[in-house]
Amino acid sequence: MLWPGTLPTQRVSRGDGPVRVLPARPTEGLPALADTHTDAFVIAHDGVVLASGGVLDQPQALFSIAKSVVGCVAAILVSHGRLSLDALVTSYVPELAGSGYAGATVRHVLDMRSGVRFVEDYSDPESDVRRLDQWLADKHPLYEFLTELEAEAPHGSRFLYRSAESDVLGWVCERAGETSMAQLVSELVWAPMGAEHDAEFLTDARGTAVHDGGLAATALDVARFGLFLLDAPKWLRRAWAVDAATRTDFLASPAASSFPGGWYRNQFWFRAGPSGNVLLCLGIHGQMLYVGRRTRTVCVKLSSWPDAQHPAYLQDTLRTFDAIAPRPRSSIL
């Protein structure tokens, strides 16, 4: 996704509430992050920062970590009775009635299980995700692009990672929440989690947030988001235990080779780790939030990979965080 300096931005206010304090207790012997173009990192256990480094107090592009924040907004709206996962997306956004999203439910787009054709190939300048980049760069409205997408498979018949699903979900949330995504994130996530700094959302020329990858925030506030997820209510806990069909469809997807035994739910990745399943929020060019529920571990790595995707760097980072997560409490505190 285009970022930074290419389009306008909107402020995501942290509100006027207290900042969540992140006590630090530097710990010796933690595995070092490899030379993978790291800009900032944070490693925390039970809310205590064991190690951190890089540029920690400057907002950085999170790319598709934004999807998980939007997924959070959707889940909270559901918990407040303002959004129904079983409703058709067209019941909130009638403008999609003539598109491939006709007949898709909110749950379908939340889990990236619609049948809409959208090719997410960052290396191909003719792929849909790159066409969307150019569409926004040419100052066209984001939502108009979504109305032109077509279906190629029955809704709910597959999992396929596509940024357009997150943009449709964001549109639905704005209609259900009756305000902008920047305001929704501020009220439902950023202020409640105790962010220290405002975040910002990249927008199209009309001021619509780029829901699929337009958020920028500091590394420490990303860590606070991870702690917010660690203590999340039932809506996220249910995503940790999915049905067999969800796992089977994930296994048939291109993502299965990177996350064996994993699945995708609520705009979050889940991966089988050596100390239990972990939740991941991922963005291109090396952005990662790693949340180990069993080990109470939250790790953040913000990067500037020269390529959008780099499987070796991804796996190296996961191995590093896995090596940290299983350490017994007595040895790291």
- Rounded to whole angstroms, the Cα distance separating 297 from 327 reads 10
Q: Is the distance from CB of 197 to CB of 59 less than 8 angstroms?
A: yes
Burial state string for 171-199 with b = 16 or more CB within 10 A and e = fewer than 16:
bbbbbbbeebbbbbbbbbbbbebbbebbb
Q: Is the distance from CB of 308 to CB of 320 less than 8 angstroms?
A: no
- Token reading at 197: 């700094």
Considering only CA atoms, give the Rg of the chain: 19
| Number of CB atoms found within 10 A of residue 18's CB | 7
- Rounded to whole angstroms, the Cα distance separating 124 from 196 reads 38
Residues in the chain: 333
- Rounded to whole angstroms, the Cα distance separating 43 from 133 reads 33
134 contact partners, CB below 8 Å, separation of at least 6: none
Q: Is 64 a catalytic residue?
A: yes
33 contact partners, CB below 8 Å, separation of at least 6: 41, 301, 317, 320
Q: Which of 257, 248, 299 is nearest to 275 (CA)?
A: 299
Q: Peptide bond preceding 18: is omega within 30 degrees of 0, i.e. cis?
A: no
Q: Which of 13, 52, 64, 127 is catalytic?
A: 64
Q: Is 91 exposed, middle or buried (0-12, 13-18, 19+ CB in 10 A)?
A: middle
Taking CA atoms, 141 is separated from 127, 145, 148, 206, 209, in Å, by 19, 7, 12, 6, 10
Catalytic residues: 64
